[in-house]
Amino acid sequence: QVQLVESGGGLVQPGGSLRLSCAASGSILSINVMGWYRQAPGKQRELVATIISGGTTNYVDSVKGRFTISRDNAKNTVTLQMNSLRPEDTAVYYCNIRGRRLGGNFDEYDAWGQGTQVTVSS
Residue 82 has pLDDT above 90, yes or no: yes
Share of residues in the chain with pLDDT > 90 (%): 92
* Nearest in space to 82 (alpha carbons), one of 12, 17, 21: 17
> What pLDDT score was predicted for residue 114?
96
pLDDT band at 106 (very low <50, low <70, confident <90, very high): confident
> What pLDDT score was predicted for residue 1?
85
Q: What is the pLDDT of residues 17-48, one digit of tens each?
A: 999 999 999 999 999 999 999 999 999 999 99
